[in-house]
Structure 1
């Protein structure tokens, strides 16, 4: 069978199963079993495929996923996230558009501790949007920053999606997590600049209102009590990986322990919060492990059928410069993001795009960060970006999908600017080397 027919058979069966409502992980498993029967020699091929899939689940690199997820769940359910937001809100005083700034600054801090874009968006949407709209903020100023900072959780460590991508692509997990620090902070600064420009052009989009002034001593107390401890957990986790003090798995364990100790210190760790946190982390972890299983076996089938090599030879046969090919890959990822969720995109594209990137001479950590950014953008890309629907679920009544689409556009532009900066200045991603 020619490689293109093999590729069409494998991809077509997966897309067809998902189109009729089959869960992503089960669609990949069913298509992989059928593909193994066809391309790997019947029943013996299926057994070999399953053995390789279970072998992929034993990877030590997967351990940070449940630990980072537990960090975020604890941060949310214990109320530590709300403390940090309230402190930032009081510190900014009468700054025009201050609740939008609170969303970006607090959301960046929450993203570092949660690693979950959906969790971050749900928290910010339920906490901030009703209050901002009550105070007369436009929908763009209230919804847009939340959609933007929800995506920050993808690239700022600890990011469960970055760990999953590194595991699927077989690259250094710690290196990818650290690579996201500086670009994530740059993106947060771009969001702040966007909000500042929007308030200057249209002051009515974020009306000022009176707030109770607080003394310098009270401000310092808020910083050291409600901000430094929470952000300190993220800083310690990153520094431990950066200086080789701990592996990503060990750093994730220290991070989860740090959040538990903070919750105990603030007397907000309850059995109910602990149970909800463990349940939430367990559900997402099981899904992630099924995804890893499906991706590992899918990659093997692409290799056995010759589809991987054929596709790479076909793609590199065009007379395109490497950067032009990168833009094509980026466009494909954005297009897929309009109709599919991010994990499905990773499952379909990692076995194809990473070998292609390596053949083009790209640094794989840099390329992985570009791919994470494309996933971050597709989280908010109309019509079916996942965060758009999460926002619709928590937004006040009367908020339409059109309102959400329009609010997302300026922040998508900021992310595209960051992609351009990474292409022009690769050291932004490789600064720790």
Structure 2
């Protein structure tokens, strides 16, 4: 009976989302109604869900998200992202498509201090795209490199998606952070390989390098070095601290936010800029925290109704091969990517998909990285790819259309899926470092 009720609630959840109900509100309504129908007592349902929400908020791991988001916002506003891009540009000046490669390299490093793809997309839309257009890059190619490489923000630690996945599955945040390093580097290398091959085959989309005639003043050079090395120092502080066991993820987030503040002050951030970064971090974090609370209630509904075992038996009892079940998961994730954001996709699917993956014998860490990659690919899926709309709203070019961004990001979408399958086929890409360190 409980399984049937949960399935009805899942159907209601999908209907509410399609009708435009906020995902958090829809989760809360379905959780409350489902628990009430299963228990037959309004007081018991309110008590259970109230305690679930309270216990969720009490978890200290919840502090990781606002602190890492704050760290990224401060670094973004300080101008360090632009410094990092210019350094990458000069370092890779002899490679075909060097500005697109600098965008990928900058996003790879910037991802290690933001944790949010949207922040990377917004920053490099304003920093990298005008530079590429100025030297003659084809707009579709330039837009694709910005939108595609921004996806690295959700894989390379610290990643908000990895934190949310860890909270839902009660896995180690630190282990998932470390697990994302090698797949993130592999994905970045796949992006770079595509740019080099595409630019070498068709130089018109990315004109060859021309020596810059403008020399940096000592003040500009100093500012760039502070920004570039400041970001690298933050990466060593946060990831290195977790890696060595010196910090817990929560402590690393706190020190990372403090370090970002120091870099920002040295870069010349004013009090108004710092306050604006704090407010923006709050605006980014509050909806995520609300979603996590309602997702905890949703998970409690699944547990009370025995939904995980019920749905798992439906999948495994249907006679499907493991690869068919995995393919179905991919399709669900990509379709949801057209409709809702990445955090919501994780909240809706992971409590169901993760146990099924474990029943199939998949490694939980490798499956987490695989899932993050596929979900992130959904951010580039038409017609509502969130990253594409972020780039469209951020680039200072009215001629840049959504169609151009979708077309330019298609190769990156395919490469993300390739990286996801590589992790699925070679789990050691994700599991080797965590097993070594933990």
Distance 1:40 1:277 in 2: 45
1:381-400 aligned at under 5 Å gives the runs: 381-395=381-395, 396-400=397-401
1:9-408 aligned at under 5 Å gives the runs: 9-44=8-43, 45-93=45-93, 95-208=95-208, 210-212=210-212, 225-266=226-267, 268-395=268-395, 396-408=397-409
1:2, CA displacement in angstroms?
6.7
1:370, CA displacement in angstroms?
0.8
Given that 1:108 and 1:149 are in contact with CA atoms closer than 8 Å, whether structure 2 keeps it comes out as: yes
Given that 1:94 and 1:210 are in contact with CA atoms closer than 8 Å, whether structure 2 keeps it comes out as: no
1:8, CA displacement in angstroms?
3.6
1:49, CA displacement in angstroms?
1.3
1:411, CA displacement in angstroms?
0.6
Partner of 2:5: 6
Secondary structure of the structure 1 residue equivalent to 2:431: coil
Distance 1:373 1:367 in 2: 10
Q: Give the alignment's Cα RMSD to 1 decimal.
A: 2.4
Distance 1:229 1:23 in 2: 38
Secondary structure of the structure 2 residue equivalent to 1:403: helix
Secondary structure of the structure 1 residue equivalent to 2:432: coil
1:73, CA displacement in angstroms?
0.4
1:361, CA displacement in angstroms?
2.1
Distance 1:153 1:181 in 2: 11
Structure 1 stretches lacking a partner, 5+ long: none
1:189, CA displacement in angstroms?
0.9
1:143, CA displacement in angstroms?
0.9
Give per-residue Cα distances to partners, 1:70-98, cap 9 Å, x unaligned: 11000111212122222223333464422
Kindly tell me: are residues 322 and 399 of structure 1, through their superposed partners in 2, closer, same or farther at Cα, counting changes over 3 Å? same
1:144, CA displacement in angstroms?
1.1
Given that 2:52 and 2:296 are in contact with CA atoms closer than 8 Å, whether structure 1 keeps it comes out as: yes
Structure 2 stretches lacking a partner, 5+ long: none
Kindly tell me: are residues 94 and 354 of structure 1, through their superposed partners in 2, closer, same or farther at Cα, counting changes over 3 Å? closer
1:412, CA displacement in angstroms?
1.1
Given that 1:126 and 1:394 are in contact with CA atoms closer than 8 Å, whether structure 2 keeps it comes out as: yes
1:283, CA displacement in angstroms?
1.8
Distance 2:258 2:413 in 1: 35
Distance 1:202 1:185 in 2: 26
With the length of structure 2 as denominator, give the TM-score of the two structures: 0.92
Kindly tell me: are residues 426 and 214 of structure 1, through their superposed partners in 2, closer, same or farther at Cα, counting changes over 3 Å? farther
Distance 2:73 2:227 in 1: 18
Distance 2:432 2:249 in 1: 18
Mean Cα deviation higher: 203-212 or 96-105: 203-212
Mean Cα deviation higher: 359-368 or 149-158: 359-368
Distance 1:13 1:385 in 2: 24
Distance 1:124 1:299 in 2: 37
Give per-residue Cα distances to partners, 1:325-368, cap 9 Å, x unaligned: 32332232122212322122112111111111222222211111
Secondary structure of the structure 2 residue equivalent to 1:340: coil
With the length of structure 1 as denominator, give the TM-score of the two structures: 0.93
